[in-house]
Structures are given as structure tokens and as C-alpha cells.
């Protein structure tokens, strides 16, 4: 079991498979990209599967989310999914992706054992997409979403970040489109995880702003805390259901007290929180031939030291050195 001093138990593991990405989203990284991790620093496929096996066998993990960077850029992705699906204790598996490579991989991922996907799409307008991502790939994302739905990687969830002056007027249009295509839309407040440290709390599009905008066109009925559980998204029924919309208010309505996550970076570091400034090295233990029991002990110790909250409302908050592309969402 992965328990911390506040009694929270981690059952959800986020695994970053790479720090690389084929987009350059303005809220994540600079246009020129970043200095990527050297290949020897990355966990191998075998190391990733071994750590996941330890997590589900010895530490109580029952859900695994593959992230990046962009996880579809990982050459061994389908094989990793297949091997995790074959573990004695099979966890639920999902993938967070920008969707660009999903059209050609959705069927293979489903056959390998992936359960569902989250796809990032912030706008329905190709010109705004190009401005936000610095790439002209809007059509590829839409095709990837359709392929995921057709392959049965459902429910297909769409993650959207609204940026002032760019797409902050699109919330109702995005929800109407998601309902039409049977996607579950989730809006995410912009978080201070950009490499250039340009995030400013003032001026950000808040959960309250998003809900006000949605209610100009839709009737929203809150699901309530029992339905939510430890999920980060507050959800609302749209016009009485069955469709839902979620809002992840990491900044204005933090949900740290119910957090059930542990994170593994692409280079084998445990992070207890997206906003943590400290990491615990599992790669060194792996490569020094430590037994599974010792790796599990190191992981438990890391989680025991998890802080009460992200501290975003603290005026002394220090943004993590790693951007979101290197941590995994």
C-alpha cells in the first residue's frame, strides 16, 4: 500500500513514457522545444513493466495512465500495454495523448489491452489550434479521436485548456461538439507547469468562468461528491443527461485532500505531486539490481513524505523545475 501521513492511499499510477512531444503548446513549452532526456536516462521497456508490476503486485495500484510528453512517440508503447495487460493483477489502463498519432495506433492499442484514452484538444478552430500548438495538425487530432471511438477506447475523454484572448469563448461550442460526437469533455484550468514560467494566476480562465459560459447555453446539474470520489474533475449532467462535462479546477478548487495518485517520470523518478519540487530515484535502484522488495520500500517511503497540498494558494509557491511535458499529466 502507498499511504501518506495524511491517510491518503495512492491507487492510481501515472507513467510518463517520454518527455518528447510533437506539439509546442504555448502553456507547456517554448517554440524551440526543450533539451530532451538522453536515451540512456530513459527507462527501458523492461524497466517500465517491472515497476508497474511492483506497483500493482506489492503497492496496491489498480489503475495505470500512460502519459508523456506524447506517449504515442514511444516506439515500444503497444508492447508495454500488452505486457501490462498480461500481469497477474491486471490494472485498468488508459492513455493521455495529443491524438496526432492515434488514427494509426488506436486499433493496435485496443487489441493490446488499453481500456480508454484522454485526448487533448483546446479548440475547434484550426487557426487557433495552430496558434496554441505552433503546429498545423488539427485535422489529425479530430481523425485520432474518431479512430479511438471506433476502436472502442471508450469513454473517449477530451481535455481542453482555455486561454485568455485565444479560445476562452469556445466553451459552449466545445461542449456542443463533444455531445454530438459522444465524447466526454473536461476543461482543465491552466496550471503553472510551463517551461518558460510565464503562468500568471491573474487573467487565467477559472472554473467559475467556464461554468458561467457553459450555462449560457446548457442546463448543468452537479453530480455531487459521492459520484466524484477521488476523481480530479467535478462533473455536471448536461441538460439532464446522459452526457456529462467535467471541470478540473486544480488552481481555484484544489482537490489535494482526496488525491490518490503517484507519478513515475520517464527517467524513473517518483513524484508524489505534479507540483512537487522533490523526486525519489527508482532508476538507480533498478540498475543496481535491487530486489523488488527494496524498490517497493523506496517507493513507500517517498509517498509517506507527500505534502498536504500543492500550495498554489501560498504566496511563496515555487513552480517545479520540470515542465508538464517531462512530468506527465
Residues marked as binding?
14, 21, 25, 27-28, 65, 69, 96, 120, 157, 191, 256, 259, 261-263, 273
Residues 295, 54: contact at Cβ < 8 Å?
Answer: yes
Q: Counting Cβ atoms within 10 Å, is residue 171 exposed (0-12), middle (13-18) or buried (19+)?
A: buried
Q: Which residue ranges are tagged as binding site for GTP?
A: 14, 65, 96, 157, 261-263
The backbone region for 278, taken as left when phi is positive above 0, alpha when psi lies in -120 to 50, beta otherwise, is beta
Residues 196, 161: contact at Cβ < 8 Å?
Answer: no
Backbone angles phi, psi at 133, to 5 degrees: -105, -10
Q: Which residue ranges are tagged as binding site for [4Fe-4S] cluster?
A: 21, 25, 28, 256, 259, 273
Q: Which residue ranges are tagged as binding site for S-adenosyl-L-methionine?
A: 27, 69, 120, 191
Residue 93's DSSP bridge partners are: 64
Amino acid at each position: 500500500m502507498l499511504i501518506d501521513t495524511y491517510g491518503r492511499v495512492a491507487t492510481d499510477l501515472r507513467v510518463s513514457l517520454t518527455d518528447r512531444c510533437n506539439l509546442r503548446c504555448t502553456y507547456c513549452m517554448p517554440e524551440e522545444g526543450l533539451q530532451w532526456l538522453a536515451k540512456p536516462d530513459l527507462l527501458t521497456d523492461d524497466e517500465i513493466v517491472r515497476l508497474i508490476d511492483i506497483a500493482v503486485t506489492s503497492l496496491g495500484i489498480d489503475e495505470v495512465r500512460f502519459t508523456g510528453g506524447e506517449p504515442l512517440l514511444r516506439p515500444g508503447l503497444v508492447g508495454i500495454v500488452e505486457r501490462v495487460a498480461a500481469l497477474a493483477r491486471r490494472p485498468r489502463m488508459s492513455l493521455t495523448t495529443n491524438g496526432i498519432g492515434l488514427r494509426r495506433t488506436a486499433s493496435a492499442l485496443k487489441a493490446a489491452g488499453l481500456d480508454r484514452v484522454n485526448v487533448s484538444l483546446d479548440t475547434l478552430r484550426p487557426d487557433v489550434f495552430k496558434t496554441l500548438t505552433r503546429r498545423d495538425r488539427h485535422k489529425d487530432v479530430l481523425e485520432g479521436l474518431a479512430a479511438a471511438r471506433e476502436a472502442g477506447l471508450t469513454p473517449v475523454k477530451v481535455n481542453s485548456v482555455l486561454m485568455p484572448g485565444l479560445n476562452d469563448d469556445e466553451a459552449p461550442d466545445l461542449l456542443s461538439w463533444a455531445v454530438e460526437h459522444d465524447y466526454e469533455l473536461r476543461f482543465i484550468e491552466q496550471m503553472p507547469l510551463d517551461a518558460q514560467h510565464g503562468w500568471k494566476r491573474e487573467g487565467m480562465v477559472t472554473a467559475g468562468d467556464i461554468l458561467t459560459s457553459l450555462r449560457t447555453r446548457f442546463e448543468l446539474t452537479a453530480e455531487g461528491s459521492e459520484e466524484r470520489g477521488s476523481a480530479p474533475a467535478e462533473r455536471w449532467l448536461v441538460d439532464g443527461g446522459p452526457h456529462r462535462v467535467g471541470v478540473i479546477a486544480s488552481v481555484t478548487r484544489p482537490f489535494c485532500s482526496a488525491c490518490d495518485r503517484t507519478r513515475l517520470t520517464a527517467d524513473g523518478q517518483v513524484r508524489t505531486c505534479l507540483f512537487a519540487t522533490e523526486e525519489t530515484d527508482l532508476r538507480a535502484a533498478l540498475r543496481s539490481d535491487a530486489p523488488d522488495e527494496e524498490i517497493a520500500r523506496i517507493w513507500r517511503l517517498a509517498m509517506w513524505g507527500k505534502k498536504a497540498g500543492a500550495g498554489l494558494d501560498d504566496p511563496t509557491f515555487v513552480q517545479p523545475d520540470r515542465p508538464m511535458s517531462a512530468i506527465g499529466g
